[in-house]
Structure 1
Amino acid sequence: MEPIEVVHTFPPIFDKNSRLLILGTVPSVKSREKDFYYGHPRNRFWPLLAFLCGEEPPETKEEKTKLLLRHGIALYDVVERCTITGSSDSSIRNVVPVDLRPILSQTGNIPIFVNGATAARLYKKFLYAQTGIAAVSLPSTSPANAAWTMERLREAWGAALLPFFEG
């Protein structure tokens, strides 16, 4: 498989009531096909978030967006454009980071969490200077992170995020 240039094509999810921001790296092949975040059916992001919010896992883009906004969660990625092979975070090159200012200008300096080690590394390298907000690194929800069971993800993500959730 050859590397291709990928441009992030869907907007961040946020509003003025967002109390925390979760950042991934760049949309996967499946996410790009579905034109929305965490589109791979085995990615545990949506079931995990729904569990932490005390809700059923959302199915549609609209349900997913409403879940996020209802619980004060903003969602975006670190990478606006890059070269990548398939969906492999380790293959990401030629990074152009996203601009977080439109989100933070509406939300204020909210806590930032990153989904996985690559998102953490790229955030620190490309976005920390822009935001001045140290990001909290969470274990990846990707199916490639098989060492982390759903139970372990619930514990780690819950400890970090639950203090910021409402209702």
Structure 2
Amino acid sequence: MDIPEDNNAGQCNCLEPIVDFDTQIIILGTMPGIASIEKEEYYANEDNVFWDIIYRVFNPPLPADRQILLSYREKLQVLKTNRIGLWDTLSACNRKGNQDHRISGEKINDFERFFSEHNQIHTIIFNGKKSLDYFRGKYPNLLKTINYRVWYSTSSSSPINAFYILYQWSELKTLLM
């Protein structure tokens, strides 16, 4: 369900990265949606299928009624167990609603510094084409100069793409393992 939007684009700022010294895979979205910013939790919009996909791909499936009860802490533990971190390509932007195509005034995070501080990361997964496009726009050669085993651009986990992305993520797991 899309959150109603007003006529003025709101200022959005990214959340802090979820990363530690064990993180080997980083998933980069574009910018958190309104629900995520308000709750200060990645992928907090209940219609976004990100957490469902993470559980299906990286964890044994849970009964549907149990998934609703998972705390944010439990969700982050699945990522940590699989050495996965989260962040966003944009540090700030203006956006009407939640959709990436309504972004303007974007500022990109400092990935040269980020990857020098987290040189154990060997895989980047872009959660959506816009995330990859913004990254390449600011750092056109960074993916070539850093020695990554694999990087992959998926369709965004927004509700619009829900039926199409589970296969992509399942294929991605075989590349990572």
* TM-score normalized by the length of structure 2: 0.80
Give the aligned length. 160
SS in 2 for 1:80: strand
Instruction: Give the gaps of 5 or more residues in structure 2.
Output: 1-5
Unaligned stretches of 5+ residues in structure 1? none
- Of 20, 33, 36, the match for 1:15: 20
Q: Superposed, which structure 2 residues align to 1:88-107 within 5 Å? A: 88-100=99-111, 101-102=113-114, 104-107=116-119
1:49 aligns with 2:54: yes
Instruction: Give the superposed CA RMSD.
Output: 2.1
1:30-109 matches, within 5 Å, as 30-55=35-60, 56=62, 57=67, 59-100=70-111, 101-102=113-114, 104-109=116-121
Superposition pairs of residues 147-162 of structure 1, within 5 angstroms = 148-149=162-163, 152-162=164-174
**Counterparts of 1:50 and 1:112 in 2: how far apart (Å)?**
19
| Equivalent position amino acid for 1:86 in 2 | G
Distance 1:42 1:104, change over 3 A: farther
Query: Equivalent residue for 1:117?
Result: 129
Q: From the superposition, tell whether residues 71 and 64 of structure 1 become closer, same or farther in structure 2 (CA, over 3 Å).
A: same
- The answer to whether the aligner puts 1:140 opposite 2:156 as a matched pair is yes
C-alpha contact (below 8 Å) 1:14/1:103 kept by paired residues: no
Identity of aligned residues (%): 24
Structure 1 Cα separation of the partners of residues 25 and 70 of structure 2: 22
- Which consecutive aligned stretches of 4+ in structure 1 deviate over 3 angstroms post-superposition? 55-58, 127-135
Q: Which residue of 1 aligns with 2:33?
A: 28
Structure number with larger C-alpha Rg: 2
Distance across 1 between alignment mates of 2:174 and 2:83: 11
Whole-Å separation in 2 of the counterparts to 1:128 and 1:60:
37
Q: Structure 1 pair 83/43, CA: closer, same or farther in 2 (3 Å)?
A: same
2: distance between equivalents of 1:41 and 1:91? 21
TM-score (norm 1): 0.84
Contact 2:115 2:121 in 1 (8 A): no
- Cα distance, 1:26 vs. partner? 0.3
